[in-house]
Amino acid sequence: MNKTILDFFDKTVSLYPQNIAVGDSDSEITYKALQEKARVIGTTIAEIGFIKNPIAILMKRNINVTAAMLGVLYSGNFYVVLDCDTPFERLAKIMDTLSPAAVIYESEFHEVVNRFEVELYKMDFEKIMKTQINSELLEKVRSQILSTDPAYSIFTSGSTGSPKGALLTHLNVISYIDWFITCFKIDEQTVFGSQTPLYFSMSVTDMFASFFTGSAYQMIPKEFFTFPVKLVEFMNERRINAIYWVPTALGIVTKFDLFKYCKPQYLEKVLFAGEVMPVKYLNYWKKYFPHLLYANLFGPTETTDICAYYIVNREFLETQTLPIGIPCSNCRLFVLDEKAAEVPRGLEGELYASGPFIAKGYYNNKEKTAEAFVQNPLHNDYQEIVYKTGDLVRQNENGEFEYIGRKDFQIKHMGYRIETGEIEAAFGAVEGIELTICIYDSKNDKLILAYEGDEQITSVLKLNSEKSLPEYMRPHDYKAFEIFPKNPNGKIDRKQIKNIILN
């Protein structure tokens, strides 16, 4: 019985030991070699005695980090990949919430690891690779893992200024990947060109789809998206035939009119998610590659990655938007109004999701878990926990879901899901600032920080954002107010502030 991610991975290793499992800018590794590396790491952790604990990973995006992720699973624990480039302040918040048993890190991050205030076991990657594999111990550990045990946690932006760690299980991944590889016919001949970082939920899809089927997971260097000719050269060199990118990445090709000069030679599937896909980008790709499979995927981290999908089967004008489509197999979606009643087709409501894709909740955060993971409002006959996505949608005449926007102040920017409250919280300690409101200019894809304070303080705010926020959460512009407008309830009138700034 295949009850864990590792059962599928080990089966793949037995079937395709010499297939390329993972590639990065410098090298590639076979499935057999990746398994051996992971089992060394698993042995090291298991020998310490940790089981079913969070293990943090602070490593660059390369072959070794995938070995570390699998190694944590072999040890009977679950992993959290940290963003190496994020400001220390945010890393510290994640570590405080997580309170991991250990951290696996590359030696260049030694000083960062020593700054963490939580008690944890520090594991230098190069040193732990000297351990001998203990197969008997790993088998003993494996016998204790349930399909419902956590496999990993991914931290998303939190409205209070503290990141939330969505907790996903082996069963979540197995159920989700089963749909994905069946729907998109992924097999050992597939070569993914991965664009997304491993602390982002989209990476779950192409990485585990590879590990479940024997396909190759090629990590495209981030810098190649700045030099798109190198991007295409890499894709052709590695024979990449499937990509799953955020629309911004696909748009780089469009902006450079790249396909006039060079083209991917092996591409068969173009999948995208993470933000709204401009039809202009899609039509550019279709102009040069009309016969490829194109699909718009939609879902939050809390549904493992995706809960709805639309395989493009008709033409769209640039003034139109793509539907997010229909529910994935083994995932139920429904739309409710403010009174928790189902809305008729064509009317707007909040999207709810249920089924085995749904996360366990947020790690060490009962309050936020209780808000988002609720009893199905449509019945009380038995316990059925569903996820309130906070996304506003409606169904069109074809029965496809159409995305309208966020119910709250959460936004999608550069492929990341961001709660503006976390951005606002980052400026709370700046001297001379009373209040801050983050506005999202969706038309120009810009974050604008409105604040009560002196206009001359903008340079201080910019410096603070570089210190406390990752690049994708930093405001593009700043707008000073003497005093924020209030609504009749005495609350800050965000709508009026947005109108002042954008109109």
- Burial 203-237, CB ≥16 within 10 A → b, else e: bbbbbbbbbbbbbbbbbbbeebbeebeebbebbee
* Residue 355 to residue 357: CA distance in whole angstroms: 6
Q: Could you tell me the CA-to-CA distances from 270 to 31, 293, 357 in Å, in that order? A: 25, 6, 23
State pLDDT tens for residues 84-101. 988 999 999 999 999 999
- Measure the CA–CA gap between 343 and 55, rounded to whole angstroms: 43
Q: Is the pLDDT of residue 398 over 90?
A: yes
Quick check: is 457 in a domain? yes
Taking residues 188-215, what's their average pLDDT?
97
| Residue 347 DSSP symbol | S
- In this predicted structure, the answer to whether residue 488 has a pLDDT above a threshold of 50 is no
| Structural domain span for residue 470 | 426-502
Measured on CA atoms in the order 122, 88, 369, 341, is the torsion positive or negative? negative
At 490, the pLDDT band (50, 70, 90 cuts) reads very low
476 falls within a domain = yes
Query: Are the C-beta atoms of residues 391 and 403 closer than 8 Å to each other?
Result: yes
| Tokens of residue 487, six digits | 């609504």
Average pLDDT on 131-159 reads: 94
Coil, helix or strand at residue 13:
helix
* Beta-bridge partners for 481: 452
Average pLDDT, the chain: 92
Return the H-helix or E-strand segment holding 477.
strand 477-481
Q: Which residues are 352's β-sheet partners?
A: 334, 388
Integer Cα distance of 480 and 457 in angstroms? 9
CA–CA distance, 202 with 300 (Å, rounded to integer): 9
Angle between helices 5-15 and 202-213 (to 10 degrees): 50
Residue 193 lies in a domain: no
491: pLDDT strictly greater than 60: no
CATH of the domain at 454: 3.30.300.30
In a domain? residue 451: yes
State how far the Cα of 138 lies from the Cα of 161, in Å rounded to an integer.
39
Rg (CA), the chain: 23
Out of 90-94, 157-161, 408-412, 441-445, the most confident range is 90-94
Q: Do residues 322 and 314 touch, judged by C-beta distance below 8 A?
A: no
The Cα–Cα gap between 459 and 299 comes to 37
| Cα–Cα–Cα angle for 300, 251, 462, rounded to 5 degrees | 75
Q: Which amino acid is at 65?
A: V
pLDDT (tens digit per residue) in 343-355: 999 999 999 999 9
Beta-bridged to residue 153, according to DSSP, are 167
Total domains, the chain: 1
Q: Is 132 exposed, middle or buried (0-12, 13-18, 19+ CB in 10 A)?
A: exposed
Beta strands 121-124 and 102-105, pairing class? parallel
Inform me whether the pLDDT recorded for 287 exceeds 90.
Answer: yes
Residue 394, beta-bridge partner list:
402
Report yes or no on 355 lying in a domain: no
Q: For residues 117 and 92, give the distance between their C-alpha atoms in angstroms, rounded to a whole number.
A: 8
Answer yes or no: is 441 within a domain. Answer: yes
Mean pLDDT of 213-227: 95
Comparing 378 with 484, which gets the higher pLDDT? 378
Flag whether 488 is in a domain: yes
Q: What DSSP string runs through 255-306? A: HTTGGGT---SS--EEEE-SS---HHHHHHHHHH-TTSEEEEEE--GGGSS-
| 244 lies in some domain | no
H-type helices in 110-158, by residue range?
Answer: 110-115, 125-128, 135-142
Phi, psi angle pair for 458, to nearest 5°: -55, -45
